[in-house]
């Protein structure tokens, strides 16, 4: 053999087909006559092409490895083999088509519909316990007149006369390799291979129409603002009655007048008279689960938190619920009558607090106030 094809491509003798193809593409770009200039460039390009012709074809490569050059006269025939053709040249300079191969044949007229995003507003109670909701959306549905065929009833698509139903047209162009046949989508049928001679009057040949639909959704407990619920196959129908997309419901939780949510927990404020905080009491608190009795121990201080287990938000996809945190706010009377003032003075005297010693403490805000600031984004 007069040439070492492996050396020409710069690959080892045990190179894989992918390594051979990659090496050829690199050299072909560098040595192509339209790019490279100077003595010997055209000849080197021919050598590279001949080496790839042999090594990319398993049968020719086996012959070559046994010492027979299949491109030599009497050596098995020259020219492009099964492993080397115009498609390799096009891939080298223009890139491979989508999916790694050239698109052949007509494309389907039917395609999947788009997804839809719908905002779903919920009350806090619906987010805590879950809910069963019905929502109305405007979307695309299969045309009831043509059932997605795009044609007037009684008619059908017709084979495109330009491309003969192939969806592509072929043209012959001249190149440095001689005559090259190229393919492109048919402009008459847009690549579908068929034309609609008599479109459906209701959908104008789309195979779908706009309509309002009512969807039923079970909202799980524990959702919060930003949670997305997917309704598979409930989106708009695709062109020509194609499969529907999905609907995504994006939750927006409305603020509550009493409760503030922090993850799986709820927080609220319980305002107590000074006497109730000092003496202790039992109060009835209206929770999202209904009335609940809360014990307030004697001497409860402002800012104390009374935790009610299991009265918070349901955990999403997990059993159990968070807690309800009741923050105590002690009310100091601002308007006393004579009798009330007398009794308080007697109490102060009995406790030795008529002129209490002042004591400075670190400035801070209460737990609930800090929570409010956090949720307000301060």
SS3 per residue for 146-174: CCCCCECCCCCCEECCCCCCCCEEEEEEE
Residue 108 domain flag: no
Q: How many CA atoms lie within 13 A of 131 on its CB side?
A: 17
CA atoms 282, 283, 289, 290: torsion sign: positive
| DSSP, res 279 | H
What residues in the chain have per-residue pLDDT under 70? 1-2, 32-39, 72-105, 173-179, 357-378
pLDDT at 209 (0 to 100) = 95
List phi, psi (to 5°) of 301: -95, 155
Residue 95 domain flag: yes
Instruction: Looking at the structure, tell me whether residues 12 and 82 fall in a common domain.
Output: yes
| DSSP, res 357 | P
Instruction: Looking at the structure, tell me whether residues 235 and 125 fall in a common domain.
Output: yes
| Cα(271)–Cα(274) distance, integer angstroms | 9
Asked if residues 241 and 208 have their Cβ atoms less than 8 Å apart, the reply is yes
| Cα(312)–Cα(125) distance, integer angstroms | 10
Instruction: Looking at the structure, tell me whether residues 12 and 27 fall in a common domain.
Output: yes
160 annotated as belonging to a binding site for a ligand: yes
The residue among 253, 269, 297 that closes a domain is 253
pLDDT at 91 (0 to 100) = 44
pLDDT at 94 (0 to 100) = 44
Residue 290 domain flag: yes
Asked if residues 120 and 249 have their Cβ atoms less than 8 Å apart, the reply is yes
Residue 365 domain flag: yes
Residue 110 domain flag: no
Instruction: Looking at the structure, tell me whether residues 331 and 237 fall in a common domain.
Output: no
146 annotated as belonging to a binding site for a ligand: yes
Number of domains in the chain: 4
Instruction: Looking at the structure, tell me whether residues 218 and 136 fall in a common domain.
Output: yes
Q: If we measure between CA atoms, which residue out of 215, 216, 311, 212 comes closest to residue 258?
A: 311
| Strand, coil or helix: 341 | helix
| Cα(306)–Cα(270) distance, integer angstroms | 9
| Strand, coil or helix: 11 | coil
Residue 109 domain flag: no
Instruction: Looking at the structure, tell me whether residues 132 and 226 fall in a common domain.
Output: yes
Instruction: Looking at the structure, tell me whether residues 165 and 243 fall in a common domain.
Output: no
CATH of the domain at 12: 1.10.287.110
Instruction: Looking at the structure, tell me whether residues 336 and 349 fall in a common domain.
Output: yes
Give Cα separations from 149 to 92, 238, 241 (angstroms).
40, 12, 7
Residue 106 domain flag: no
Instruction: Looking at the structure, tell me whether residues 124 and 244 fall in a common domain.
Output: yes
Instruction: Looking at the structure, tell me whether residues 246 and 133 fall in a common domain.
Output: yes
Range of the domain at 361: 260-375
CATH of the domain at 207: 2.60.260.20
What the block records as the tokens of 53 is 């012709």
**DSSP line for 13-59:** TT--HHHHHHHHHHHHHHH-TTT--STTHHHHHHHHHHHHHHHTSHH
pLDDT at 80 (0 to 100) = 38
200 annotated as belonging to a binding site for a ligand: yes
Instruction: Looking at the structure, tell me whether residues 347 and 305 fall in a common domain.
Output: yes
| Cα(343)–Cα(265) distance, integer angstroms | 41
What residues form DSSP beta bridges with 142?
208
151 annotated as belonging to a binding site for a ligand: no
What the block records as the tokens of 37 is 């200039």
Instruction: Looking at the structure, tell me whether residues 139 and 225 fall in a common domain.
Output: yes
**Helical segments of the chain, H only:** 5-9, 17-31, 41-55, 58-65, 86-94, 124-129, 274-279, 338-350, 367-375
Q: If we measure between CA atoms, which residue out of 83, 290, 108, 89 comes closest to residue 189?
A: 108
Residue 295 domain flag: yes
pLDDT tens digit sequence for 198-211: 999 999 999 999 99
pLDDT at 143 (0 to 100) = 94
268 annotated as belonging to a binding site for a ligand: no
The residue among 237, 253, 269 that closes a domain is 253
Angle between helices 17-31 and 41-55 (to 10 degrees): 160
């Amino acid at each position: 053999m007069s040439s070492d094809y492996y050396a020409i491509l710069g690959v080892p003798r045990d190179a894989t087909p992918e390594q051979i193809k990659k090496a050829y593409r690199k050299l072909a770009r560098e040595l192509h006559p339209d790019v490279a200039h100077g003595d010997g460039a055209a000849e080197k390009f021919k050598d590279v092409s001949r080496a790839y012709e042999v090594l990319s074809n398993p049968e020719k490569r086996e012959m070559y490895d046994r010492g027979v050059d299949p491109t030599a006269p009497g050596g098995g025939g020259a020219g492009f083999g099964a492993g080397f053709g115009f498609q390799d040249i096009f891939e080298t300079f223009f890139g491979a088509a989508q999916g790694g191969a050239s698109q052949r044949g007509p494309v389907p007229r039917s395609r999947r519909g788009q997804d839809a995003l719908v905002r779903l507003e919920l009350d806090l109670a619906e987010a805590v316990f879950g809910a069963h909701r019905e929502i109305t959306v405007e979307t695309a549905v299969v045309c009831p007149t043509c059932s997605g065929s795009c044609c007037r009833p009684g008619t059908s698509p017709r084979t495109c006369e330009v491309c003969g139903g192939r969806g592509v047209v072929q043209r012959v162009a001249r190149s440095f390799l001689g005559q090259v046949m190229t393919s492109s989508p048919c402009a008459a049928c847009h690549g579908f291979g068929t034309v609609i001679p008599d479109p459906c009057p209701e959908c104008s040949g789309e195979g779908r129409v706009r309509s309002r639909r009512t969807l039923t959704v079970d909202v799980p407990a524990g959702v919060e603002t930003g949670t997305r619920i997917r309704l598979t196959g409930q989106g708009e129908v695709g062109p020509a009655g194609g499969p529907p997309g999905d609907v995504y419901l994006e939750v927006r939780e409305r603020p509550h007048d009493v409760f503030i949510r922090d993850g799986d927990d709820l927080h609220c404020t319980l305002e107590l008279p000074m006497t109730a905080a000092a003496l202790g009491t039992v109060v009835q608190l209206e929770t999202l689960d209904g009335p609940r009795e809360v014990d307030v121990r004697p001497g409860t201080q402002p800012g104390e938190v009374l935790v009610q287990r299991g009265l918070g938000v349901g955990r999403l996809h997990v059993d159990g619920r968070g807690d309800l945190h009741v923050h105590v706010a002690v009310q100091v009377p601002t308007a006393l009558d004579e009798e009330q003032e007398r009794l308080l003075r007697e109490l102060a005297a009995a406790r030795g607090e008529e002129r209490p010693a002042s004591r400075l403490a670190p400035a801070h805000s209460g737990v609930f106030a800090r929570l409010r600031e956090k949720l307000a984004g301060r």
